[in-house]
Amino acid sequence: GAVVSQHPSRVICKSGTSVKIECRSLDFQATTMFWYRQFPKQSLMLMATSNEGSKATYEQGVEKDKFLINHASLTLSTLTVTSAHPEDSSFYICSAGGRGGVISTDTQYFGPGTRLTVL
C-alpha cells in the first residue's frame, strides 16, 4: 500500500519549453501533496504544498508563475515548469499524505522522482 507514482521519470527538453510532471497516489486519497526539488548531493527543498481543490502554497523564493501546481483531484497533482531554462534542471520529487488504505495520516509517501534536464 501507500504507492505514489510520478511521470515521467526522466525528461529532457529544450530551453523555453514547458514541462508537466504528474504525481499520483495509487491506493489512497491524497488530501495534501508536496513538491520538492533536490540538487545533486543536497537535501530536499520544499517548493510548495497543495491541498485538493485549493491553490498551492509556495515556499519563500519559489516563483509561482514559473512552477505551476494543480491539485485537481484526490489522486493527482501536477507540476508544470514553464519556460524552462538550464538552471531549472534538477530532480523533482512529489510526496503525498492523506487518508484511506493502509497509510498513516501523519506520514508523507514519496514518488520516485523526475529528473529534468533542460538543454
Partner 1 sequence: AQKITQTQPGMFVQEKEAVTLDCTYDTSDPSYGLFWYKQPSSGEMIFLIYQGSYDQQNATEGRYSLNFQKARKSANLVISASQLGDSAMYFCAMREGPIIQGAQKLVFGQGTRLTINP
Tell me which residues touch partner 1 (CB under 8 A).
31-32, 34, 42-44, 46, 49, 51, 91, 93, 95-99, 104-113, 115
Residue number, 18 or 42, with CB nearest to partner 1: 42
- The DSSP-derived string for 37-104 is EE-TTS-EEEEEEEETTSPPEEPTT--TTTEEEEEEETTEEEEEE-S--GGG-EEEEEEEEEESTT--
Residue number, 48 or 118, with CB nearest to partner 1: 48
- Reported as type and span, the H/E element at residue 29 is strand 29-38
On the CB side of 103, CA atoms within 13 Å amount to: 23
> Smallest distance from the beta carbon of 113 to partner 1, in angstroms?
4
> Smallest distance from the beta carbon of 49 to partner 1, in angstroms?
6
> Smallest distance from the beta carbon of 7 to partner 1, in angstroms?
14
Residue number, 61 or 104, with CB nearest to partner 1: 104
